Amino acid sequence: MIGRVFSRNFTRTYKHSLNSHTIQESIIRSEYAVRGAIAMKAMEIERQMETGTKFGFDKITHLNIGNPQDLGQKPISFNREVLASCLVDDPERNRMIYSSDAVDRADHYLSHINHRAAGAYSDSTGIRVVMREVKDFIEKRDGVEVNEDNIYLTNGASEGITYMLRLLIKDENDGIMIPIPQYPIYSALITRFNGKQVPYYLDEETGWRMTYEELEKAYFEATAKGVNVKALTLINPGNPTGQVMSQEDLEKVIKFAHEKRIFLLADEVYQKNIYVDKEFCSVRKALHGLGAPYSNDVELASFHSLSKGLLGECGLRGGYMELHNVNEFAHAMAYKSKAVGLCSNIIGQIGVGLLVNPPTEESVSKEVYDLYKKEEQTIFDGLKHRANLITEKLNNIEGVSCNQVEGAMYAFPKIQLPRAYCHLANTLGIQPDLKYCLDILEKTGIMIVPGSGFGQEEGTFHFRITNLVNCSLEMERALDMIGEFTEDIMSQYRYKGVETVKLPHEPILDSEYQTI
């Protein structure tokens, strides 16, 4: 894993009471690759560009993080009109600017919160009418019955994940099973809460599939070391791997959880982003389909967010968590955890309502509905085209292989780096795939994230790249630059013996940082 921490080699003074000797060790040890060394280096380059330093590129291309609107994706008009009408509670004025349907939807929300969209708290678990919309959404999607009191509106899915991991990890002996590769919020939070990571490896050769055999292997290896395995996390569609799990795969996971009596955490924020002939199946639906005893016994927390999907409203920080088969005491503790933060932000909560209750032909005018569907389809078509483009282009680069991007917003290609290049990276004290990503950033301005930040099979190297550049031509150009850079690396280091490799004059990372 990749991380950078402040050097401990300095003299402690009175005015530095908060330092690397006094900050909680678990905070120092936790890592978050998508905003780690690569992001810090990019910020340094951008500061230098602002002061007139010239590079071989005009701007940084952020292919490191799922942030669609930062890369040109336009927001859905109807949703923004509703949010604007909520912030300025003046229906007569708003109808002169926005569609009547949007103003009516805003009034629908405002009437349930005393017409205070941004200036007052809601209940800790959320705005009740939005919670009911989430309930209706899950019931319609999965054919199940949902208790709205099991729903928590959160500041993005990340907040719900944080709450659950904090509840699940009682002490340092508690373990959480996470897929490898994984989204690094899980490893970071498990470390922060002093738990144990229990990695289970996805099978790259079969399109990053999860197997029952690997789950068993990971579980027994952990328990043999005395780890108390409390929960299993799955991400569907996958991040960073982009695979889509079948209902059959999910049923195997559910049976495993039931057999081992462990909690399931279902990260399902990319459920609208599926680009192949597969349908999304939620864990809730698969659990219901299996029937008793599984549907009555297996404990589940599911997460969704309006940051991802087709809305890409990352900055609104809206999401929800649904708990299922969780006992009353655990519910009370979840509520207490949520209540400490009072409530998630109101505009984000309303955004969740718009996520789960979009306009329909029956609810809005034909003009509003047609525009909504056109904007949504345009976003989806662009994501699908670029997903296919990434798969095709990366597989044409020497030394790079990439599974088909079935869903989500990412690809996780494998790269075979020359031995001499790896030796140079090791001599510098960093992972070879981190060096590759830092080098490509400095040469081209393209930000991608090393696979070592997500976890990978020992002896392999990967990187994660997003398919979010809104202009397909710009995406194609970025992929071509990655190809040219990689071919240069292969050509330069392929036949070079490690004894001939010379260190660069300056280290890649600032000297005040160290890698861990």
SS3 of 270, please? Answer: coil
Side-chain-side CA neighbours of residue 289 (13 Å): 16
Q: Which residues contact 376 (CB under 8 A, 6 or more apart)?
A: 76, 310, 358
pLDDT at position 293: 93
Phi-psi region of 495 (alpha: psi -120 to 50; beta: other; left: phi over 0): alpha
pLDDT at position 359: 94
- For the four alpha carbons of 221, 225, 231 and 235, in that order, the dihedral sign comes to negative
Q: Are 462 and 451 in contact (CB under 8 A)?
A: yes
Q: What Cα–Cα distance (Å) separates residue 108 from each residue in 117, 371, 423?
A: 11, 21, 62
| Distance linking the first and last C-alpha atoms of the chain | 7
pLDDT at position 33: 47
Phi-psi region of 100 (alpha: psi -120 to 50; beta: other; left: phi over 0): alpha
Alpha-carbon distance of 230 to 300, in angstroms, equals 12
**171's tokens:** 């002490």
Alpha-carbon distance of 202 to 408, in angstroms, equals 16
pTM: 0.85
Structural domains of the chain sorted by starting position, each given as residue range(s) with its CATH number in brackets: 4-70+377-515 (3.90.1150.10), 123-356 (3.40.640.10)
pLDDT by residue (tens digit) across 292-306? 999 999 999 999 999
The 10 Å CB-count burial string (b at 16+, else e) for 41-66 is bbeebeeebeeeeeeebeebbbbbbb
pLDDT at position 60: 86
pLDDT by residue (tens digit) across 109-150? 988 887 677 677 778 788 899 999 999 999 999 999 999 999
Alpha-carbon distance of 61 to 482, in angstroms, equals 12
**308's tokens:** 């991802």
Tally of CB atoms within 10 A around 308: 26
Side-chain-side CA neighbours of residue 510 (13 Å): 15
- Rg of the chain on CA atoms, in Å: 24
Phi and psi at 241, nearest 5°, equal: -90, -20
For the stretch 253-257, contacts whose Cβ atoms lie closer than 8 Å and that sit 24 or more positions apart, written own/partner, are: 253/210, 253/215, 253/283, 254/283, 254/286, 254/287, 254/290, 254/294, 254/298, 255/290, 255/294, 256/212, 256/215, 256/216, 256/219, 256/232, 257/232, 257/298
Q: By C-alpha distance, which of 490, 463, 492 is closest to 478?
A: 463
Listed as ranges, residues in the chain with pLDDT below 70 are 1-24, 26-36, 115, 118, 495-516
pLDDT at position 255: 95
pLDDT at position 115: 67
pLDDT at position 426: 87
Residue with the two structure tokens 């999401």: 319
**445's tokens:** 């301005």
